[in-house]
Structure 1
Amino acid sequence: MKRCLPIFFLLISATLMAQPEQEDKSLDILYRMLYESEVFSEIFTGFALYDPEQERFLMEKDAGKYFTPASNTKIFTLYTALRVLGDSIPAFRYAVTGDSMVIWGTGDPMFLHPALPGDTVGLALLKDTTCQLFFSAHNYKDERFGPGWAWDDYGYSYQPEKSSFPLYGNQVYFSRIKTGEGISAYPPYFRQRLVYNPRMDGTYPRILRREYSNDFEYNDPALSGPPFERTRPFNVTPTLIAQLLSDTLHKPVGCLDLTHLPPLHVKTHYRAVPDTLYRKLMQESDNFIAEQLLLACSEKISGSQSTAEAIRYAQDSLYAGLPDRLLWRDGSGLSRYNLFTPRTMVGVLDLIRQEKPATWRHSVFPAGGVSGTIEDLYANRQGEPYVFAKTGTLSNKHCLSGYLLTASGRELIFSFMHNNYVQGTAPVKKEMQQVLEFIRDNF
C-alpha cells in the first residue's frame, strides 16, 4: 500500500522549493534595477547585499571597487571605539607632585560638551583640589585637522579642530533670543572676544573669526535682525585650554610647555560611555566626536594621541579579516583620501552586528523616516523604519550603508556607494529608495 505524506509536510516541501525559485526571480529583477538604471549608469555606483544568517552575498555590483565613503567612515570609527574603549573612557589623567596637580587630556569629546551628559565627578575633582593646577599637552602627537581636509572650512561648525583635552566641543555657541538684546556666548569666556565689524556685509546674522585668532566678529544683522543661533569653532592652543579651564573652575590654571612629563604617579579619571555619544556620532554625523574618539582610542592604546596610530592598530587587530585593504585616513570622513569598498563596508557592519544586538543598532544608527540624516526617507507606508543606516555625503559623493529589515522578517546588510555624479543627490536617493523598497518587499 502506498503511503502518503501528511499534508503539512507537503506544504513545507513546496515552500522550501518555492523560496529559492522566488529569490532567484527577485535577484534577476534586482540585477536589472542596478545595471539598467539610467541614473546609476551615468555615475560610479557600487552595491553589496549580504545575508548574515546565510553568510553569503545575495547581490554585488562593483562591490570590490574603491569609493570615497565620506561619513560612512564613521562606521569604522564606531566599531573601533566599541572594541577599544569598551564601557568607559578615560576622561583625563592627573598627577600630584608637591602642592601641584598636573592634568592632561585623553581625547574624550564629552568634557563640558553642552549636548552630552555632564561629568560632575570629574569637574568636582578639579574644582575641589587645593593643589595648583597645571595643564600639559605633552601627549598630543597630531595636527589640528585631518589629512585632506579643506583648510578654508576652519570657520564652520562641521570642522572643529582636534585637540588633546577638548572642552565645550571645541566650539562657541552664540545666540540672541530677542531683538534688541545683546549676543550671548557659551562658554562665557568668549563674550569678551566678540566685536562688531561695521564692514562685514550680509543680510543675515554672521559671526566669523580669522583662522588663527579667537576674536569673533559680527555684522549688523547679528545685533539688530531676527533672533539667531550660530556655532563656530575656536582655534585650540594649550594656552587657551588652560584659560578655559581657569574660567570654568574659577581658579588659576597654568600651562606647562613640555614635550614630555617626568616620571610621576599617574591617576586616571574614567567615565561611562553613554549611548547618547554614539547616537550623536551616527545620527547627527558629528565630525568632532568621530575624530576625538579615534584620538581617545590611540591614547588608551599607546599613551599618546595620534589618529594614524589608532588607525594602524585597528587595521592590524580589528579589520585584518575584511575582504579589502582599507585606505583610511581620518575618523569622520572629511578626508577625500579615504577609500573603501562596498563589501568591506558590509564587513564592518557585520562585525557590529556580532558585537551589538539589533535593538542597540536600530537605536544608534539613523532610522528611515524617524531620525538622523534619513528622517525624511526610507519609511514604510505605516511610517515605520525598515532601513537603519549611515549616510555619507561630500560634493559629488553619496553613500548609504547599514541594515535593512525585509517584509519576511530577515535582516540584511547593504552598502550603496556613489561617486562622481553632477546632478545632485536627489535623483540618486530616489533611485536608491526604489531599490531598497524592492528588497524590503521581495526578500
Structure 2
Amino acid sequence: MEKIVSIGFILIVLLGCTSSQKIVQKNVCPVLDSELFENHFTGFFVLDPEKRDTIFSHNSAKYFTPASNTKIYTLFTSLHLLPDSIPSLRYNVYNDTLFVEGTGDPSFLHPYLKDSTALNFLKEYDIISFHLNNIQEERFGPGWAWGDYQWYYSAERSSFPVYGNVLTVYEKEGLQVSPALFKDKVIPIDYAIQREENENLFYFNPSRRDTVEIPLKLDSTLVRNLLEDALKKKVSITQNPIKGKKSVLYSMPSDSIYVKMMMDSDNFLAEQLLILASSTLSDTLNTDKVRNFVLDSLLTDLRQPPRWVDGSGLSRYNLFTPQSMVHVLHLMYQHIPRQRLFSLFPAGGVSGTLENWYPGDPEPYIYAKTGSLGNNHCISGYLLTKSGKTLIFSFMNNHFRIPSSEVKKRMQSIFETIRDTY
C-alpha cells in the first residue's frame, strides 16, 4: 500500500463566497445559533477538498473532547504503519524451543475475528516459551474511568491478547462460557455488577437472552493457562527477550480489523492497533512512541496539534479540533482509493454506528465515524452532495445536557441542507 505522507493543505476562506457557500451559511448559522445549541460547545468545519475551500467554519480551531473520533487517528496510523496483513507474533526457534513474543495482535482466539493462523502455527511446536513483558503500557489508558473495568468497552490492553481479553457468556440450554476455563467462575444470578473488581469472578443473569462480554483481569499466569488450554500442551513464560534475529508471522487481512473497529467503534481493537503499530517502530510495545512518531513525522503541519493519549477515545484527556480531524481525513482521501476508504467507515442509514442515522436519498451520503461519551457527541467524515461533490467535515458537540438524539436530529438537518444545496 502507498504510504500516507502529510503534504498539508491550505484552508482558504474566500472573501467573496460562492452562491452555494452563502446558501450553506445562511441555512446553517441560524441552526447553530438556536436555543438547542446555545448551552453547549459546538465546533463545525467543512472542506471542499477539490477546491481546498472552507465551506463552513464555526469554532473549528477550538479543542474538543473527540470521544471515538479519536479512532480516525488510529486508522490513519494503522494505514500508514501496518502492512496488508496483521503481524501476529514475533518468534525464533532455538534448540528445539519456539520462543514467542506478542505484537499486540488482537485476533488470537478473538470471539468474532475467527482467525486461526497463529493458533495453527503454535500447534506445530512441542516446546514453546512466551515473553509477555515486551510492553510498556498500563492495562488501562490514561483517564479511563476506573469503574468501567467490568464493561466490554474497557477490556485491558496487552502484548498478547487472548479471546479479545474478554469472557463471553450467553444462555442456551445452560450457560455457554468462553473461554471454557471460566465455566465454574460464572455465577448465574441477577447481580449489580458483572465481575469482581480484582478477580475473575463473574455474574450473569440467566434470564438474559443476549451475549455478554466481560473483561478479564489479566496476568501472566492467566495468559499461560489460557494458552495451555487452547494448545492442549504445556507452555512456559520467560522474562527474557527473544535472542537472535526474529521472524514475523502474519495473520488476517488488516482491513478486516479496521472495518470492525470503525463499524462497531470497538475500543479494544483500536487500542491494540496502536500497540501493533508501535511494534513496527520498536521491539518494545509503547503507544507513546507511535503517537509521537505520527505527530512529529507524519503530521508536522497540523495547525492545532492534538492532545492524543489513547487509541480508542475512551479517555476524556484527548483534545482535538475539527480542523485537525478534517486534516487527517483529507490525507486519507488523497492517498487511499475512494472505494476502499469509504468501505472502512459506517455509511449513513446502512451500517455500523450510523445504521439508524443520516439515511440516504436513497443512496448513502454520509460516510463517517461517530464518537460519544456522556454529554458529548461528535461525527467526522465524508459528505456526498447531490451535485456530485465530496466534502470533508467534522462536527463536534461537547457538554450538552439534552438527549443526544436531539443533537443528532439538528445535525442531520444541517447535513441534509449541505447535501442539497452545495
What is the TM-score when the length of structure 1 is the normalising length? 0.88
Partner of 1:307: 287
Return the alpha-carbon distance in structure 2 between the equivalents of residues 439 and 266 of structure 1.
53
* Structure 1 pair 146–39 and aligned structure 2 pair: CA distance change class (3 A): same
Contact 1:34/1:61 (8 A) holds in 2? no
Partner of 1:413: 392
* 2:238 aligned with 1:237: no
* 2:419 aligned with 1:440: yes
* 2:156 aligned with 1:161: yes
**Runs of 5+ in structure 2 lacking a partner?**
1-15
Q: Which amino acid aligns with 1:105?
A: G
Partner of 1:211: 197
- Aligned to 2:121, the other structure's residue is in SS state helix
CA deviations 1:21-44 (Å, max 9, x no partner) are 532431341452354222222210
1:262 Cα shift? 6.0
Contact 2:168/2:177 (8 A) holds in 1? yes
Partner of 2:183: 191
- Aligned to 1:263, the other structure's residue is in SS state coil
Partner of 1:56: 53
* 2:353 aligned with 1:373: yes
- Aligned to 1:66, the other structure's residue is in SS state coil
Query: What are the within-5 Å matches in structure 2 for residues 261-276 of structure 1?
Result: 261=241, 263-276=243-256
Partner of 2:12: none
1:166 Cα shift? 0.6
Partner of 1:129: 125
Partner of 1:6: none
* Structure 1 pair 421–226 and aligned structure 2 pair: CA distance change class (3 A): closer
Return the alpha-carbon distance in structure 1 between the equivalents of residues 306 and 210 of structure 2.
42
**Runs of 5+ in structure 1 lacking a partner?**
1-18
Contact 2:130/2:237 (8 A) holds in 1? yes
CA deviations 1:373-423 (Å, max 9, x no partner) are 1111111343x2101110000011110100000000000001000111011
Return the alpha-carbon distance in structure 1 between the equivalents of residues 40 and 210 of structure 2.
39
1:201 Cα shift? 4.1
Contact 2:24/2:56 (8 A) holds in 1? yes
Return the alpha-carbon distance in structure 1 between the equivalents of residues 191 and 150 of structure 2.
17
Q: Percent identity?
A: 44
CA deviations 1:184-210 (Å, max 9, x no partner) are 11122221332456xx647xxxx7221
Partner of 1:249: 231
Contact 1:136/1:238 (8 A) holds in 2? no
Partner of 2:7: none
* 2:82 aligned with 1:85: yes
Contact 2:88/2:102 (8 A) holds in 1? yes
Query: What are the within-5 Å matches in structure 2 for residues 212-227 of structure 1?
Result: 212-218=198-204, 221-222=205-206, 225=207, 227=209
1:117 Cα shift? 4.2
* 2:34 aligned with 1:66: no
Return the alpha-carbon distance in structure 1 between the equivalents of residues 162 and 145 of structure 2.
23
Greater alpha carbon shift after TM alignment, 391-400 vs 32-41 = 32-41
Structure 1 runs of 4+ with >4 Å offset: none
Return the alpha-carbon distance in structure 1 between the equivalents of residues 310 and 163 of structure 2.
21
Return the alpha-carbon distance in structure 1 between the equivalents of residues 359 and 409 of structure 2.
13
Contact 1:168/1:187 (8 A) holds in 2? yes
1:271 Cα shift? 2.5
Partner of 2:334: 354
Greater alpha carbon shift after TM alignment, 35-44 vs 166-175 = 35-44
- Aligned to 2:327, the other structure's residue is in SS state helix
Q: Which amino acid aligns with 1:166?
A: P
Partner of 1:118: 115
* Structure 1 pair 217–23 and aligned structure 2 pair: CA distance change class (3 A): closer
Return the alpha-carbon distance in structure 1 between the equivalents of residues 304 and 208 of structure 2.
52
Return the alpha-carbon distance in structure 2 between the equivalents of residues 265 and 31 of structure 1.
59
Greater alpha carbon shift after TM alignment, 235-244 vs 405-414 = 235-244
Q: Which amino acid aligns with 1:172?
A: L
Contact 1:139/1:305 (8 A) holds in 2? yes
Return the alpha-carbon distance in structure 2 between the equivalents of residues 139 and 201 of structure 1.
37
Greater alpha carbon shift after TM alignment, 106-115 vs 158-167 = 106-115
- Aligned to 1:297, the other structure's residue is in SS state helix
Return the alpha-carbon distance in structure 2 between the equivalents of residues 262 and 380 of structure 1.
53
Partner of 2:10: none
Q: Which has the larger radius of gyration?
A: 1
Partner of 2:378: 399
Q: Which amino acid aligns with 2:263?
A: Q
Return the alpha-carbon distance in structure 2 between the equivalents of residues 387 and 141 of structure 1.
38
Q: Which amino acid aligns with 1:298?
A: S
Contact 1:389/1:400 (8 A) holds in 2? yes
Partner of 1:170: 165
Return the alpha-carbon distance in structure 2 between the equivalents of residues 357 and 86 of structure 1.
16
* 2:95 aligned with 1:94: no
Aligned residue pair count: 407
* Structure 1 pair 266–376 and aligned structure 2 pair: CA distance change class (3 A): same
